[in-house]
Structure 1
Amino acid sequence: MPKISDARRDARRAQIVEAAMRVFATKGYQHTSMAEIIAEAGLSTGAVYGYFESKRDLFSAVARRTLGRRNADLEAAAAAGRPPAPGEVLGIVVNGLVSEGIDLRLLLQLWGEATVNPDMREVLNAGVKVLREAFSAALRRWFEAHPDQAPDGIDVTVERLVPVVMGIGQGFIVQSAMIDDFDPPAYLESARRTLPH
């Protein structure tokens, strides 16, 4: 049997992750079965299980892919000229999630499940680690360009601010998913004005 190329293997893996993301977004993590993901991917059971051992592994891959793209967005914004301010960093991340079509309700389901399921808590914490590193790097770039905004030093300021920015982002996600008259642009503009700028 001929070996498939790395490019083909990567494309197949991405096909499965995209299919999983569509099904998770439609049905939620708990109500999604591997059979539904396999059907959505249009592949054999063996082909999917050759890449992912379980639904948990697939969900973790979806989270890593999504967060990896947000990190790339932040790096691209910094490379385009001036590093974005903290409120702009937040806007880049949440607007990236929305523009990618991530159903924000899925994130709420993950957070809820992580409170009672140790496996999902592990997936969540792995994703938070990636996101925290992306926020830290982005905020560090801005404070290096604006050291007067970090009177206690850049390291201390970034360490203190990252959980706050992440919390404001979580507030955006919760309100977007649950409040019918939520105004995303107004929320992000308020965050931009509230955070150092």
Structure 2
Amino acid sequence: MLAAVATVTAVAALAAGCGIRSTSVPVDAGAAPSRVPCRTPAHDVTSQALEDIEVQVYLVCASQLMTVNRSVRLDSAEPDRIRVARVLLDELQKAPSADERQAGFSTGVPTGLRVSAARADDPAGTLRLNEQPEDLPAEALAQIVCSYADSETLVTGGTVVLGGPGDYAPRGYPCASETKTRPGEVPTLGALERP
């Protein structure tokens, strides 16, 4: 009889599960846990050419934006702002290296995307893309905004000002902590007035 009671108690304990009660209210607990490390090995800077510089770009890992270091060479034939914007965009479009892939990194920035200087009537600091920013995948836009936001030369009033190929007014995009943790939900500021 005592063995039967012990068996029933053990079965009831197993049936209770992990002790977390179910709820009818949806709960947003953020991204699911991931086993990928989201860390790449350090680069050996001693072997780089003197013309190369180290830059950081944001890639997607475990549904969040995380920085990776890249070694790039700048072409001095272009103005500084556009040169920096193009170099960063090029790095975002590259397929992650073997080490980056193994660490869980990916990129969603389209390879055909291009960036150019502002138009004459654009607000100061505007960069123009050959696609409307709002038409890009949200994670790709977040990657671009946060990578540009880390460069002092590409930020205006705390935001990255982007326009597209059409007549829509450029918009300011901030890279907030929420943008990095939830890159699928990039907040957009209002359209900026032309001077």
TM bucket normalised to smaller:
under 0.3
Task: Point out the structure with the larger strand share.
Answer: 2
TM-score, normalization by structure 2: 0.27
When normalised by structure 1's length, the TM-score is 0.27
* Bigger relative contact order (CA 8 A; separation at least 6): 1
Larger Rg: 2
